[in-house]
Amino acid sequence: MNNTTCPQVSLDFTGRFLPPVYILVFIVGLVANGWGLKSLLHNWKKLKIINVFVFNLGLADILYLLTLPFLVVYHFMDRKWIFGEAFCKITRFCFNLNLYGSIGFLTCISVYRYLAIVHPVKMMGRITVTHSVIISVMVWLLVSVQSLPDMFFTKTYRNNTEKCFVTTDKAHVEEYLKYNLGWTLTGFCIPFLITLGCYGHMAVVLWTLKRTDKVLRQRSLKLLLTLILLFSVCYIPYHVFRNLNLWSRVLTKQRICHKWYNGVYIARQISRALVCLNSAFNPLVYLHGHEDVPAQLRQQLQQVRQMFNHCFLSNHSRRPLARTVDEL
């Protein structure tokens, strides 16, 4: 450590790494979430409590996915933002709505699953679709209130090229770190602990009670593994390295230098790609959270297989006839 001017962190990694990830997530996420939302809307009259949360989860993903083409253009133009400061803030706001909305709705799904399996008699008839709609509106409002202060921080500046900051500029980084620590606690840590507690207790109940329906047990355990995957791969690294990167920027501003700054920056960019993947991974929740989608998926795959077999058999049956005509 020294008190001289710190060396600049290399920013080249971001421009090479993030655009391909954004393009992949945009294509996969849009197709997967579009199919999932279509399945939900197709059975809207049979909409059940947990499906309301799954539907809102898909909306949060679509909202973010539609901003990815603009971010791809931004990085392809060597991080020159040409869409104005207002749209920069809207883009970052949509990302935060997606991130913390996803965490919020996954937490709601976890709590509902927990109550339905661990306390089925007590909760029978007490939670309705109307309740789940009200809870969903409250989640959107809470996430919006948590994300709103982020829009008041500086997001752009002009220095030959115009940037669109994910966090804020150098002048306000200390205030942003304090805000981000509180945001991490309320938006991520508390929901994560609630989810962990619900599924931890539920896993014990599912394994100890032999009378539990086998299909319900398998579906719930698969959903548990999906949520563990989402939190472990997408959410935990992002929050850890975002706060570490902000802290390194504060120390750099104070001319306190450490060798690990560049490594933290690279890890931060990788974690941004991983958290972006949540929009592609979230559709896995459709398979284990929505009660009708697995059957629909199997039915559609069977139809595709039957269509393929029909085309194959038709072509095969026409080949002898074609040879006979040629021989004539």
DSSP for 231-263, please give it: IIIIIHHHHHHHHHHHHHHHHHHTT---TTHHH
CA 14 to chain centre: 20
| DSSP three-state, residue 36 | helix
Residue 228 in any domain: the answer is yes
Is the distance from CB of 17 to CB of 269 less than 8 angstroms?
Answer: yes
Specify the pTM: 0.82
Compute the distance between CA of residue 64 and CA of residue 152 in angstroms, rounded to an integer.
20
Domain co-membership, 326 together with 253 = no
- Any domain includes 247: yes
**Tens of pLDDT, residues 225-265:** 778 888 888 999 999 999 999 999 999 888 888 888 888 98
Are 225 and 308 members of one domain? no
Q: Write down the pLDDT at residue 309.
A: 56
Question: 41 with 134, same domain?
Answer: yes
Give the structural domain span for 267: 12-291
Same domain? For 45 and 167 the reply is yes
- DSSP H or E run through 129: helix 129-147
Residue 180's pLDDT is 96
Question: Got the DSSP string for 59-112?
Answer: HHHHHHHTTHHHHHHHHHTTS---S-HHHHHHHHHHHHHHHHHHHHHHHHHHHH
Cβ atoms of 143 and 100 closer than 8 Å: yes
Sign, CA torsion 278/279/285/287: negative
Question: For residue 14, which of 270, 261, 277 has the smallest C-alpha distance?
Answer: 270
Identity of the residue numbered 192: F
Q: How far apart are CA 66 and CA 62, in angstroms?
A: 6
Residue appearing with tokens 């501003």: 253
The reply to whether 215 falls in a domain is: yes
Instruction: Say how far residue 155 (Cα) sits from the centre of its chain.
Output: 23
Backbone φ/ψ region at 161: left (φ over 0), alpha (ψ -120 to 50), beta = beta
Question: Residue 161 has what pLDDT?
Answer: 56
Residues 327, 271, single domain; the answer is no
Long-range contacts of residues 120-128, Cβ cutoff 8 Å, at least 24 apart: 127/49, 128/49
Residues 6 or more apart whose CB falls under 8 angstroms from that of 159 comprise none
Q: For residues 196 and 321, state if they share a domain.
A: no
204-209, long-range: CB < 8 A, 24+ apart? 205/117, 205/118, 206/117
Spell out, as residue ranges, where the chain has pLDDT lower than 70.
1-5, 9-11, 43-47, 158-161, 209-217, 286-328
Q: Is residue 3 part of a domain?
A: no
Q: In the prediction, which pLDDT does 201 show?
A: 85
**288 Cβ neighbours under 8 A, 6+ residues apart:** 219, 220, 222, 223, 226, 294
| Residues 313 and 267 reside in one and the same domain | no
Query: Would 147 be classed as within a structural domain?
Result: yes
Number of folded domains in the chain?
2
Q: Are residues 152 and 225 in the same domain?
A: yes
Same domain, 212 and 310: no
Both 318 and 171 in a single domain? Answer: no
Residue 2 phi, psi (nearest 5): -145, 170
Q: Is residue 59 part of a domain?
A: yes
**Domain assignment of residue 21, yes or no:** yes
**What integer pLDDT is reported at residue 51 of this predicted model?**
84
Structure tokens, 142: 């809470």
